Amino acid sequence: MFRAACSVIRWMSAGVRHGTRNTKHAVPHLLITILLLMAAPSSRSQPAPRPDFVLVIHGGAGVVLSDDLTPEKEKAARATMDAALLAGHSVLVRGGKSLDAVIAAIRILEDSPLFNAGKGSVLTSEGTVGMDASIMDGATRKAGACADVKHVKNPIDLARLVMDKTPHVLLAGEGAEMLAKEHGLVLMPADYFITDHRKLQLQRIQQLEKKFKAGEKKAQLNSLEGIGTVGAVALDKHGNLAAGTSTGGMVNKRFGRIGDSPVIGAGTYAHNQTCAVSGTGHGEFFLRGVVAYDIAAKMEYQGVALTNAAEEVVMRKLKDAGGRGGVIALDTKGNVAMPFNSEGMYRGVIRADGKPWTAIRKE
């Protein structure tokens, strides 16, 4: 702007010197031009407004219209999601990191028996629990994850430890639990994680499976799939993205099965240049479709906007492949996408105003 004003002055004074400009009008014009130039906003000198902070969570995608979701359960689930959103908000409002907000929100969902992560995780075919979690920092693209852990109260904390304290990205089983022990994470006996609801769910699905083998309709089986993983993506005041996911996996899964949630690029991904994503749904399809990274890749290589990229991947590619589920996704401008191709997805958003918004069904 300053340079432009100088050239106008130079042009005017040259005209006056050579007698080619009308000096009577030149001076007021000159002043007006300089004033206008000074008042005009300059795109070069003004930094882009700092993005607001945002936190988005999910509590799993799946069937929500069945008898399973009573009004009381819905109220309790929404209250827990509100609490998770507010916990993350309190981190972000103080200028805290998106990573810490993601963890604060996920811990609350892990501690609740209502969601399929931490306490209340779904059961394997052997009636045991095997939990997976991961976290990714969009600023550094550092990531950490744990898989098939059986005693760690908050697997998301262990994912953070793997990221911060080891040169690795993914630790599984006993080795992962050793790291948790070394760093004083809270460990719980296996019984802590197992709820009556999950025992009943396993019984019902195993009975149905027997019937199904004997020729019953598959639809009944689908309605009992215990999808309900939790995840969070956040954008902090510094403009950094983070994503995290935590799960007990899929009900009646084979002992030792690991899903998409601890796999960076499949169930979780974050990169400041594109977006932060956490997925929920039938993990095998998310693994094969590299779903979380696919959304980021569409943005990076094709310049597709967040909402379109997320819609295309979840509502077309994943769905066409037969994969049920959804994602929460967020970019550095604070745009949010929450597509799901299942009947519903527990989800919530909180922004700087501190008012939690939650939904379960299609709206």
Q: Are 62 and 343 in contact (CB under 8 A)?
A: yes
Using only C-alpha atoms, the chain has a radius of gyration, in whole angstroms, of 26
Using Cβ positions, the residue closest to ligand ASP within the complex turns out to be 283
Q: How far is the CB of 130 from ligand ASP (least distance, A)?
A: 10
Q: Is 247 in the site for ligand ASP (CB under 6 A)?
A: yes
Comparing C-alpha atoms, which of 359, 323, 360, 363 is closest to residue 341? 323
Nearest distance from residue 280's CB to ligand ASP, in Å? 4
Is residue 124 involved in binding ligand ASP (CB under 6 A)?
no
Q: Quote the least distance from Cβ 361 to ligand ASP, whole Å.
A: 17
Find where tokens 């601890």 sit. Answer: 262
Confirm whether 229 is a catalytic residue.
yes
Positions in 214-243 near ligand ASP (CB under 6 A): 227-229
Q: Which two tokens stand for residue 160?
A: 């953070």
Judged by CB under 6 A, does residue 265 bind ligand ASP? no
Query: Toward ligand ASP, which CB reaches closer, 53 or 285?
Result: 285
Is residue 289 involved in binding ligand ASP (CB under 6 A)?
no
Sheet holding 241-247, edge to edge: 170-172, 143-149, 131-137, 241-247, 230-235, 54-62, 344-351, 357-361
Verify binding: residue 59, ligand ASP, rule CB under 6 A: no
Which of the residues 80, 229, 332, 358 is marked catalytic?
Answer: 229
Question: Which string of x and - marks every residue 76-115 that binds ligand ASP (by CB under 6 A)?
Answer: ----------------------------------------
Region near ligand ASP per CB under 6 A, out of 4-12, 150-158, 279-287, 289-297: 279-287
Per CB under 6 A, residues contacting ligand ASP are 60, 116, 227-229, 247, 249-250, 259-261, 267, 280-281, 283, 286
Q: Which residues are catalytic?
A: 229
